Amino acid sequence: MRTPIIAGNWKMFKTVTEALEYTTRFRELVKNIQGVEKVIAPPFTALHMVSQLLIETGISLAAQNMNEFDNGAYTGEISPVMLKEIGCQYVIIGHSERRALYGETDEGVNRKLKAALKHQITPIMCIGESLAQREKGETFTLIDTQLKKGLADLTKEQVSKIVIAYEPVWAIGTGRTATPEQAEEVHAYIRQWLKANLGNEIADLIRIQYGGSVKPDNIAGLMAKPNIDGALVGGASLDAANFARIVGFRQ
Ligand code: PEP
């Protein structure tokens, strides 16, 4: 059985003060919610302080990005060593905003996945097609390429530790969610790809999150699908009560 994992990606929102207020409230709201792994991904500046508030809460901490190197002359970058030290268990890699706005490539995603795994940080690897690609019928070819290049040269054991987030770009921040059927179609395809390339055992272990305008009123329908193992939530994770409702989708 795969434990569902629901992660809130705050993007470039919240000062440290706001992050601490949110976390204090959120940990109270979700303290009785069991059977779902809860993750929050504040901006870099708030990670350390937030990590102090998450001790013994069962809520995990994620970074939204990282550099592939341990240290060096990379002005403005943050390394996996730094993230590990402050208690990040997860890191989002290859979010579509990073791919579109900062030129991240599948090859770069691959290097970052390896770096995160080397430091025992679990990567949440984002993949997904744009609207133009979907309309041209290129969704599955793109997913193939992103998986093939993103996971290149990783051992089965390494891949088994990764979380995959399927995030159709046309559904991110647009209010236009994929229907549970549309999402499940691609999730099942990803699961099948993993089976064909890594075997049934590994494929059955890997959690595949859906991301794209997830809200309290659509999470249950998505989570009812057999290959949807969680959600990566942007906008709707910014309000603690809203995100707590998403995490508590079973209640
Ligand atoms: C995201 O940024 O990963 C995301 C899914 O955003 P939103 O929930 O706002 O669509």
Matching residue, tokens 């089976």: 195
pLDDT cut 70: percent of the chain above it: 100
User: Mind listing the pLDDT tens digit for each residue in 12-23?
Assistant: 999 999 999 999
Ligand 1, atom nearest to 213 Cα = 10
- Listed as ranges, residues in the chain with pLDDT below 50 are none
199 Cα–ligand 1 center, Å: 30
Nearest CA to ligand 1 atom 4: 234
Q: Residue 143's domain spans which residues? A: 5-247
Residue 247 Cα to ligand 1 middle (Å): 15
How many Å lie between the centroid of ligand 1 and the Cα of residue 136? 23
What are the angstrom distances between the C-alpha of 116 and each of 40, 120, 175? 17, 6, 31
The span from the CA of 209 to the CA of 206, in Å, is 10
230, β-bridge pairs: 5
Mean pLDDT of the chain: 97
CA-to-CA distance for 183 and 185, rounded, in angstroms? 5
Ligand 1 atom showing the smallest separation from residue 172 Cα? 10
Tell me the catalytic residues. 95, 167
Mutate-to-test residue for ligand 1 from 9, 95, 127, highest number of ligand atoms within 8 A of CB: 9
Burial class, 9, CB count within 10 angstroms (exposed 0-12 / middle 13-18 / buried 19+): buried
Q: Which atom from ligand 1 is nearest to the alpha carbon of 97?
A: 2
Which of 91, 213, 247 most suits a substitution to test ligand 1, by most atoms within 8 Å of the C-beta? 213
Q: Residue 214: what pLDDT? A: 96
Closest CA to 85 of 70, 64, 72: 70
Query: Which atom of ligand 1 sits closest to the CA of residue 214?
Result: 8
Q: How many domains does the chain contain in total?
A: 1
* CATH number of residue 216's parent domain: 3.20.20.70
Give pLDDT tens digits for 135-185: 999 999 999 999 999 999 999 999 999 999 999 999 998 888 899 999 999
Interval between CA 54 and ligand 1 midpoint (Å):
23
- Name residues contacting ligand 1 (CB within 6 A): 9, 167, 172-173, 211-214, 232-236
pTM summary value:
0.97
